[in-house]
Amino acid sequence: MIAKIIPNFNLSQIYRSGQCFRMSEREEGIYTVISGKRYLELQQKGEECLFDCSETEFREYWKGYFDLENDYGCYKLQINPNDKYLTEAAAFGCGIRILRQDLWEMLVSFIISQQNHIGRIKRCIENICRQYGEKCINSRKESYYAFPRPEALAVLADDALKECNLGYRSKYVVQAARSVASGKTNLEMIERMSYRKAREELLKLFGVGEKVADCICLFALHHLQAFPVDTHIRQAMQTHYKRGFPNRRYRGYQGVMQQYIFYYELFYRQNHKEQILLDSENTAK
């Protein structure tokens, strides 16, 4: 177990931010993360975070995974002080980081995310990991499952993953696996591409649209200029940025602002709306 002091970092917010689907809260304040075959247990007290791994593993993998070398305080300082909405959103999600996750895992995860909610996405991914991933053992001598390699899914029939509750998304995942396993889609090459080129390559895959491509670019390739637009973001744009989001001001890190907005809309705004509705119902009574 190693301890690190990390400002602008909140495990609970990262866990709920919708970018990582193999992160779980084992018990209150204690989280687990599975990335590929790696397993990590960690907890936080204020700015102190405890990582249950060696210093070498932290330095070589988890430090980059959690993007700990980036100063997120600087991003927040660049927010237009006259933009009350974005200022509030960044304050509400002040501990969010853009994770550096595996490209193949994010490709599959965000294909599954289409017309789906976070809880169900996690269950779908856990299902395919248990069915097709390698069984591993963690430090507690408990079993967990690695994310399946493309070759394990490429041999399946198009509808095989319906058994894992993927529904119509099954054929998208299987065909993506075939493309990667055959070399038609070269993930290593995509990792070296610019944001624009990488996005173009991802859009060639069956079942990958603009939002999914941008999510992959942001959460796997760490192209911070990617700005995925889903229902929550679209609603925020229509309400607060009728002339469009000020991309020029936040050039190069629009994706960080997107995450603040997404998290704010998903939790604070939604809870606020539900409370207003509850209050109005109580008043009517």
Phi and psi, residue 277, nearest 5° = -65, -45
Is the CB of residue 3 less than 8 Å from the CB of residue 49?
yes
Looking at the chain, list the stretches that DSSP marks H as alpha helix, in order from N- to C-terminal side: 11-16, 55-57, 63-65, 72-77, 84-92, 103-112, 118-132, 150-154, 169-182, 187-191, 195-203, 210-219, 231-240, 254-263, 270-284
3-state DSSP assignment of residue 173: helix
Match 């939002």 to its residue by tokens.
211
Give CA–CA dist 177/191, Å, rounded.
17
Give CA–CA dist 171/31, Å, rounded.
32
Does the active-site annotation cover 211?
Answer: yes
Is the CB of residue 1 less than 8 Å from the CB of residue 48?
no
Match 């996405």 to its residue by tokens.
121
- Position 44, amino acid: Q
> Which one of the listed residues 211, 242, 273, 285 is annotated catalytic?
211
Is the CB of residue 128 less than 8 Å from the CB of residue 241?
no
Question: Pick from 150, 177, 153, 176: which is nearest to 164 by CA?
Answer: 153
Question: Pick from 170, 153, 169: which is nearest to 161 by CA?
Answer: 170
Is the CB of residue 101 less than 8 Å from the CB of residue 22?
no
Phi and psi, residue 113, nearest 5° = -70, -15
Question: Among all residues, which ones are annotated catalytic?
Answer: 211
